[in-house]
Structure 1
Amino acid sequence: MLNPETSLASLWLIVLRLVELHGIDPQAFSQEVGVPAATLRDVHARLPSRLADVAFAKAAALIPDPAFALRAGECWHPSNLGTMGYAWLSSRTLHTGLKRLERFGCILGNRSTYRCVNTPGSLRFVLEHGRGDTPIGHSIADYTLSLLLGMCRTNYGGKLNAAALFLRRPEPADPQPWPKLFGCNVRFGALEDSLLLDRDTVDAPLPSANVPLANTFDRILSEQLAHAFDDDIVSRCKAHLLRELTSGVPSAQETGTALGMSQRTLQRKLHELGLTYQSLCDEARHELARRYLDDTNKSVTEVTFLLGFSEQSAFTRAFRRWSGMSPTTYRHNPAA
């Protein structure tokens, strides 16, 4: 089981490039914060999240510019985000990429959470960094949202702007760096840190999309989620189901055995979370159905049998129950 609050060590390479842009020796900075150089070369290594608080406090003390963290979007490389970075690049739309980040973001760092909220004509991406309304929290919000903007511009194009930006930080003496970077109105002193993106923008097909590759990365991320958070019974159970569903729906007893527990223990643990084994099977089946339908090389008939349905009509009924639309409607408008 992971330390309750850790993050990928490779993410620190972004932080070190950021301070270097502001004239700080990254090697000396890393040593002073307590980040071992060898750890940054280990793709599986994780570091305590508290070190990020130390780093941002130190950077804020050394850099006179209050907007210093807004340059994070210039500093990232897909490899810094591990598998997530490459899954992001292969996403069909920004919407699917942001939903991927919502689900698997805890692999990057389990102190922060991300949430996609559908609003009329737009999508709101909400960040909860776990630092509250504090100076360190304000810097981390700047860092994370500017990094996200940079990621979106990598996939969509450099001219992409946000529709609106909401920040918990009080309005600074010079507020111009924020609207200049994000290309939109900024509301300081907001109740949350969030970024609003236009619906047509987030649902537009991306030139970098590679759905089969994205699906492969999703499987890897599911496994990483289940392995890293071994006390997360839902993630472990879903990872097993996603592996096995193409061969038929495994029974609760089979899944319990695969997870090293009895069927009764599995069902009890799920019941304590307000879940049932059947609801988890439906959720996993729905997720796998969406992955397959995103791949236009697979016909709906092929998807039907890959998911273990004997007839397309049965699959259509199940998909309508899960999503409120037919498989064909989803394929033509996945964000509906």
Structure 2
Amino acid sequence: MSQAAKPLSEGDIAACNVIPAFEASLLFGATEDELADQVGWCRTALLEPDARVSGASTYKHMELMFEKPRYAEFVVAAVRAYDVKSLGVVGLACKTMPNIGVAMACHARYQKLTNRTATYQTELRADGLHIREQRDAPRLGSELISDYTLLVAIRLLSLLSDAPIPVRAMYSRRARMPARERALYEETLGASVTTGSALAELVLDPSILAFGVRKADAEMESYFRGVLENALPMTDETPKLLVSAQAVIRDQLQQGAPTLSKVAQALGLGERTLQRRLSEFGLGFQALLDDTRKTLAEGYLKQPELTLAEVAYLLGFVEQASFFRAFRRWYGMTPQAYRMSI
């Protein structure tokens, strides 16, 4: 569910995510004592089972390395050290998916299990498939790690795919980037890097969605999906208001798109009260409706007896074309393509 970013805290990121950058740091001017004192990272602690670090520590780390003489080379080395297993169980699950589109959808659903510092949106537009990152921390380390994360994303897609990843452009939140750093990033991506963007963003060729995953395994995919679903927060841990509101939305969808007024009335609340209480969780009503539809769509498309027109109706869309547009916004592919891939 799309929510406003929370203050960075301990446990934001599984330590397996930062180990490649930790090791690369030692090759480009940092010492283990320096990383322990200034960042709070200790090798023995990072290697402990289920170890986690704070998002703030990753920003401190990038700021520390930015002051070293060969920062750009450090970033590229850390990216190249990344493997799918660096994402933990989520990465291993992605390796089993049938194609890149489904692997990206898998990562989007379960990413919060290993990294809560950013959110990602995928949108298919005229100029390509856009992957946007959202971070709220207004500091240099946040901007630096956004660039790093986009480079890592291409590295991981390349490891998963059975074909090269065609990158069209990268957009950085940083106002300026040294020429040497930009050149290294552009060489790594095979595409231009533009600074001064409001959001960190990649633009890819949409064809990647159909690229096969080289180690796809339907049996293991089913296993990992079960593991990851069980690892998601249980319903009773979700705020009761959100559970109740989603239940009302599900019940009302077959009568068309539920309105704020109707859902508030069913919950025994005023419209403004419902809006205010949803905002406490970083949500608006439209975002809650959208997230509920998205989750239901996944389940409906796994039922081959349902036509796409019936799925659209069950989701409260008056026109099938509206459902198609929403689905492409959610997953960067059509419902037919998604159904064929599962």
Scaled by the length of structure 1, the TM-score of the pair is: 0.70
Decide whether the 8 Å contact of 2:118 with 2:135 is kept in 1.
yes
Specify the alignment match of 2:79 in structure 1: 73
Q: Which amino acid aligns with 2:96?
A: S
Specify the alignment match of 1:123 in structure 2: 129
Q: CA deviation at 1:124?
A: 0.6
Aligned length: 292
Q: CA deviation at 1:193?
A: 0.8
Specify the alignment match of 1:189 in structure 2: 196
**Hey, what's the Cα distance between the residues in 2 that align with 1:279 and 1:184?**
33
Specify the alignment match of 2:158 in structure 1: 153
Matches within 5 A, 1:213-292: 213-226=220-233, 230-231=237-238, 272-273=277-278, 274=285, 283-290=294-301, 292=302
Matches within 5 A, 1:316-327: 317-318=310-311, 321-322=314-315, 324=320
Question: Does 1 or 2 have the higher relative contact order (CA < 8 Å, sep 6+)?
Answer: 2
Q: CA deviation at 1:334?
A: 4.8
Q: CA deviation at 1:69?
A: 1.8
**Hey, what's the Cα distance between the residues in 2 that align with 1:38 and 1:151?**
26
Q: Deviations over 1:167-195 (max 9, x none)?
A: 12214233311211110122122222111
Deviates more, 1:14-23 or 1:228-237: 228-237
SS at match of 2:70: coil
Gaps of 5+ in 2: 1-5, 252-266, 279-284, 325-333
Decide whether the 8 Å contact of 1:73 with 1:149 is kept in 2.
no
Specify the alignment match of 1:260 in structure 2: none
**Hey, what's the Cα distance between the residues in 1 that align with 2:213 and 2:8?**
36
**Hey, what's the Cα distance between the residues in 1 that align with 2:86 and 2:243?**
25
**Hey, what's the Cα distance between the residues in 2 that align with 1:48 and 1:229?**
25
**Hey, what's the Cα distance between the residues in 2 that align with 1:16 and 1:222?**
30
SS at match of 1:62: coil
**Hey, what's the Cα distance between the residues in 2 that align with 1:285 and 1:35?**
41
Structure 2 CA distance for partners of 1:280 and 1:161, relative to 1, 3 Å: closer
Specify the alignment match of 1:167 in structure 2: 172
Q: Which amino acid aligns with 1:53?
A: Y
**Hey, what's the Cα distance between the residues in 2 that align with 1:112 and 1:3?**
11
**Hey, what's the Cα distance between the residues in 2 that align with 1:159 and 1:40?**
32
**Hey, what's the Cα distance between the residues in 2 that align with 1:180 and 1:85?**
25
Q: CA deviation at 1:125?
A: 0.6
Q: Deviations over 1:252-273 (max 9, x none)?
A: xxxxxxxxxxxxxx99899954
Q: CA deviation at 1:228?
A: 11
**Hey, what's the Cα distance between the residues in 2 that align with 1:138 and 1:158?**
30
Specify the alignment match of 1:59 in structure 2: 65
SS at match of 2:298: helix
Decide whether the 8 Å contact of 1:69 with 1:142 is kept in 2.
no
Q: Which amino acid aligns with 2:125?
A: T
Deviates more, 1:316-325 or 1:210-219: 316-325
**Hey, what's the Cα distance between the residues in 2 that align with 1:220 and 1:38?**
27
Deviates more, 1:73-82 or 1:16-25: 16-25
Percent identical across equivalent pairs?
A: 15
Q: Deviations over 1:122-159 (max 9, x none)?
A: 21111123333x43223202211111111011012574
Q: Output the aligned Cα RMSD.
A: 4.1
Structure 2 CA distance for partners of 1:216 and 1:147, relative to 1, 3 Å: same
Specify the alignment match of 2:185 in structure 1: 178
Specify the alignment match of 1:205 in structure 2: 212
Decide whether the 8 Å contact of 2:28 with 2:68 is kept in 1.
no
